[in-house]
Amino acid sequence: MTRPLVAIASLGGTISMTPSDAAGGVVPRLDAAQLVAAVPGLGALAELSTESLSQLPSASLGTEQLLACLAWAAEKIAGGARGVVLTQGTDTIEETAFFLDLYWRHPEPLVITGAMRTPLSAGADGPANLLAAVQVAMDDESRGRGVLVVMNDTVHRARWVCKSDSLAVQTFVSPDGGPAGRVVEGRPEYFHAQGHRLLAPSPTRTFPKVAIIPAMLGDDGDLASAALDLGYEAIVVSAFGAGHVSFGFAEQIERVAKTVPVVIASRTGSGATASRTYGFAGSEVDLARRGAILAKWLHPLKARLLLGALLAAQTPREQIPEAFARWSTLPRHSSINPQPQP
């Protein structure tokens, strides 16, 4: 039987880090071929191509590297890969996965993995994660699901996945949506059929600076005006509870929303913003009246990336609320469509 082709690219992160006396700690050094060599049996499972796209801590990844990853992955699919795997630092996976998923048009899976423990530490999780990622990438059941994150034998969708713990191996969770599936005895088992996917329009300009400004006790949100002075082209407010800010912050939002789009997302880590429950000054009803867009189920980090993508496609300002509503609201079952909608 011919083995499926799976392409693996490394970007850096803990999975690739070894100690450096000069740096005073671990730094990214291993490339994709070295990561593969550390996984017993991986070569027997699939025909693997490996490439090192960068050796960065994931905090220093940016849209340029991610667009290069998309081009690399698309090229590998065109060359016959059944799926592609990216290894990277876990610090930003919840964002990189969402960003890549905005643009991943192929039915073949793009799987992201990493590690919480360095390769030389006891119980290093990188090899098991890479093995599971390849098993997910080569499985037909993974097709049409977009970008998936595989860590700790659990499969997460880009839409929901969040890093929940700074150091624990079981850090990745999917609040609200739940994990997509689990890897059991070497194969992914999915809890649901593949669902609704949306794609962002292709970028036609560079990605804008989009700020996230938190609502904080006793704060009047004047960072929102400062962000405009610094050249930010849109603002996401990481709001209290179901989408709330102080009286002063509400006034800032009204002022700023006259110039740039302002999105209100919840800072709580799970749950949706409300839309018709609270009426006090600074409530979700009040902020919507003042021109803000409610992010509903999108967390601030994901709302920021969507807003950036809409602006990078030069979406007219008046169309942004409607585009956001499509992304932030859950699909009705009657509209579930396995084909991605641009």
Cβ-based neighbours of 131, under 8 Å, separated by 6 or more? 39, 41, 42, 45
The one catalytic residue in 14, 92, 273, 315 is 14
CB-based closest residue to ligand GLU: 89
Q: Contact with ligand GLU (CB under 6 A): which of 83, 89, 109, 261?
A: 89
CB nearer to ligand GLU: pick between 1 and 167: 167
Q: Which is nearer to ligand GLU, 14 or 273 (CB)?
A: 14
User: Residue 116 interacts with ligand GLU (CB under 6 A)?
Assistant: yes
User: In one letter, which amino acid is 334?
Assistant: S
What tokens were used for 29? 């050094």
Nearest CB to ligand GLU, comparing residues 2 and 166: 166
Beta carbon of residue 88, minimum distance to ligand GLU (angstroms, whole number) = 7
Nearer to ligand GLU, 38 or 281 (CB): 38
Among residue numbers 4 through 33, which ones bind ligand GLU (CB under 6 A)? 12-14
Answer for which of 4, 114, 126, 146 binds ligand GLU (CB under 6 A) is 114
User: Is 125 annotated as belonging to a binding site?
Assistant: no
Tokens for 111? 């799987």
DSSP 20-39: ETTTTEEEE---HHHHHHTS
Interacting positions 49-88 with ligand GLU (CB under 6 A): 57-58
Our CB check for ligand GLU shows the closer of 150 and 272 to be: 150
Q: At 66, which helix (H) or strand (E)?
A: helix 63-78
CB of 185 to ligand GLU, least distance (A): 26
Q: Across the chain, where does the E strand assignment appear?
A: 5-12, 17-20, 25-28, 47-56, 83-87, 110-113, 147-151, 154-157, 162-163, 172-173, 181-184, 187-190, 210-214, 234-239, 262-266, 293-294
Which helix (H) or strand (E) segment is 308 a member of? helix 300-312
Q: How far apart are CA 329 and CA 102, in angstroms?
A: 16
Is 91 labelled a binding residue?
Answer: yes
Measured between its terminal Cα atoms, the distance across the chain in Å is: 37
Are the C-beta atoms of residues 153 and 183 closer than 8 Å to each other? yes
Find the shortest distance in angstroms from Cβ 96 to ligand GLU. 10
Q: Tell the smallest beta-carbon distance from residue 12 to ligand GLU (Å).
A: 6
| Beta strands per DSSP E along 13-80 | 17-20, 25-28, 47-56
14 is catalytic: yes
Contact residues for ligand GLU (CB under 6 A)? 12-14, 57-58, 89-91, 114-116
| Annotated binding residues for substrate | 58, 90-91
| Annotated binding residues | 58, 90-91
Catalytic residues: 14
